[in-house]
Amino acid sequence: MKKFAVFASGNGSNLQAIIEAVKAGDIKAELALVFSDNYKAYALKRAEEIGIPTLSLRPKDYTNKQSFERDLVIYLKERDIDFVVLAGYMRLLTPYFIKQYPQKILNIHPSLLPSFKGRNGIKDAFTYGCKVAGVTVHFVNEKMDNGPIIMQDSLKIYEKDTLESLTEKIHQLEHKVYPKAIALYVEDRLNVRGRKVKIK
């Protein structure tokens, strides 16, 4: 059985959806570690409460980003982590880290990429006046929100929607889509050719 780690920086609501999918047998892999760059992240508490090992390293305790990530990679390799899932991890990974896990890092972004990259995807779509918003699950490469797209789903933005109501709806959509995409990856059903990801 494959082992994976979830990286989170905050509340961990996507982590919770992933935990529930693993418990239900929808994701046939072992969630072996939850990592955070924020030792106060509620995601760590979610994991600890059900006995999932956790790790927190703070970048400010290191002289540079690569030394921080080198320690992290050593920890992951020691625990035989096969792939990494980013779930609200608010730090860009370096090329060094990505080379350790080529096509083995998944991320979810709260917009229909390639539109509205960056940390304010929901707000940017809302203020732009979009009629449709959505989420994208993609592989991570060396550019921000740029890797091959695994799965997307969308929803309508209504005139009565506020930024808060849209944010809530986007999060609910993430919780449905992300476990499905992770399950496809675990089952080796993703065939990557350049930018195209074919589901087998």
* Residues marked as catalytic: 109
Distance in angstroms (rounded) separating the CA atoms of residues 116 and 114: 7
| Amino acid letter for position 100 | Q
Angle between helices 13-23 and 163-186 (to 10 degrees): 40
In whole angstroms, give the CA distance from residue 28 to residue 91.
27
Q: What is the CA radius of gyration of the chain?
A: 16
d(CA 184, CA 200): 9
**Structure-block tokens of residue 60:** 């400010």
Judge residue 90's burial from the number of C-beta atoms within 10 Å of its C-beta, 0-12 exposed, 13-18 middle, 19 or more buried: middle
At CA 77, angle to CA 76 and CA 78, rounded to 5? 90
